[in-house]
Chains A and B, each alone.
Chain A
């Protein structure tokens, strides 16, 4: 990706580019190839509007407010702008505006937050308008030059043509004049049937530098005179740093300073990461482990179990009288499921680089929320936001973890103790594993009533466990209730509605918050809710003596049913499979999209599971880039199945027991099933893609395991379960 910097007018009034093979310190950042400040070329580069910048040689730079973390948002959002701009796609590059620039320009780029699979669906309207407005300004500039009516002109492939005369002007020739025009107030957007770029599987814009080592991630940041810091926070959340003996390590190789931050972490600053880390490991530290230091995993389980039968709970979805219907049912089915804490495990551990002086603070990092990172930097620096900025770098994975700014705060608190010296703070994998904001842990008791014909007449779903909002953003609770808990279970709406028509339904939540912080984790609460609901639907179908697909289709809403049928048809559900292979199915609506999966699994006589193939169907409304959707779907199974197979964080004496990929395993290539993706876009809404499919991964496999073994697995991870027949 060639994302860079520097245009004719920077409100910062300064240009301090470092072209040392690292990164720009200007107000637009990323990448390597920088036009030099003050050069003739830089003066000719024109911003048409906040989204579109055009170079004299027709290169188009599209500004992207959301963060790229692998999900392909740079490319998808650029497609949306370029579609309306009518520019030559081969000349498009992208760049990030900084959060500070957004503040200075009255939030002209709106939301920087990158999560909830929202990048495209929540900004598609205004970024397409941005492209359309720029196109109309370029056309108006050409019409003025030719002294003709704009209605006689048309734009295509970065050229404006005067239709009656055939005269042509390139965007690069028009940019300077167009940039001076007032933008039109209203511009109609193209009819989807006229789209040329949206819906096409174009290549990503950011691949090349990821193949040669040139791509700069936060952890690769280098600045002249920079030092590197290693951090260790109290092993138990809620505990504090008591004391440390800096003198024991201050003479060690490369060590510059030993400091504490907040009241709970100690940091060694050195010339290199290895020297900082080695000294940190040698540093004698005394901790006050706090009030949770005797808490064990069994205590957490007991806390959640208690909530399953508690009399008080927040209601998320209610229809009719579930209890009466269950009491009067011909057959009653009950099951209890449990879902553990899970670790994000981004490949790039948390890190941030900060440069603090008493009147300015700059941060370089990968972040899913640039504005939150800026706010955290300003707060930690004790400076006004206007004196701070954050330069966003490529993320080595986000998955929700980098929506938090705890690591940014730490980096600034360290840099503040070294004014004028840039400091890169890097978490070890061990620190990253033990100080995550974990996927919340919950349990669920499901009770269903079937009538004599096998119809589900009543269903009670009791969730007990952790609330993400209570941990991260208690101000967003509604009278104590966390609505996010009910993802995929909501009574309606375009985001995460419950897909089944059940006449008597109660879904409620007894909030129980153990001490590990909970956070948004790719797929969030749809993940366990889909396990609970889709596995239990299989149990109900079994009790009713019906096929799981037929049983579901009798109750599913139309769009949910359509994607489930699409997956089943493509997988050949109900037809013969190789000996010992079995199908399991699941579906969910989340992040505005409808998804379904059919897993083909086998379990050997000694209990070894093999997931052979997964057929996945997705209706995201509009499919902006089918090639990227395929990759997000396949990747979702890796993330979702890694969690199902191995993902489990546990505590001992209040501290997280797992420390690295040896004790927190994830899926490797040899376990990767074949993935067949079916995209069935209905074209009548905009849904998300990066997350919904994760939720159907585990339940499809678990339902397949039941078909193969007759065993209902109701607790994850699978590695703790014995799948041997009869075991």
Chain B
């Protein structure tokens, strides 16, 4: 066989097949079989009839939704002020906002936990509130960055044209800037919403004993119930696919890392 440049992809293709595709196939097989290897739909039925798992699904969705909303409400003004500021060293300022992404998230949560304990006395009093605060603190940079990138590359002449044509500052924002920034908002939501549904470490560290989708997988894992765990993974995977398709095939490439 003659050397061709495309053969260089073979090791990686093989790796992806073995450690990305095959594990997912195994998950599907395990989700629809019982411990003796017989095919069954029991795991599936159990998931959708068990009030506990359905409650967990609901709780995860609500928690993720509120976290995303909080992140958006904080990140948009920040990204906007940053993108339209006249500060000379804007890139340094942006780095300050995304720098926390590079510090281990468990250590950052430790810091937050100490501060919250000081403020609240006992973290157990407000488990839901603390989880929202923890998640928002954790994921905020992932919302700021895409919105900033989008606002930054907007053609300023659109806004100038709007105000020349008599629009007030607020109208310019509402009719021009905001609609044009939606792609950044969408990719920010995608980068916060999905992790917020599964990152159970935040709940763990802030003494929230309620389960979310991620911790449910963990609990099945701890009980050596591979079949039940696979079913939860599959449901989660389906939700992720659905959400990824819904948020559009945004060409926004993740920049500077990501975490789930």
Q: Do A and B come from one complex?
A: no
A residues sitting closer than 8 Å to B (CB atoms) are: none
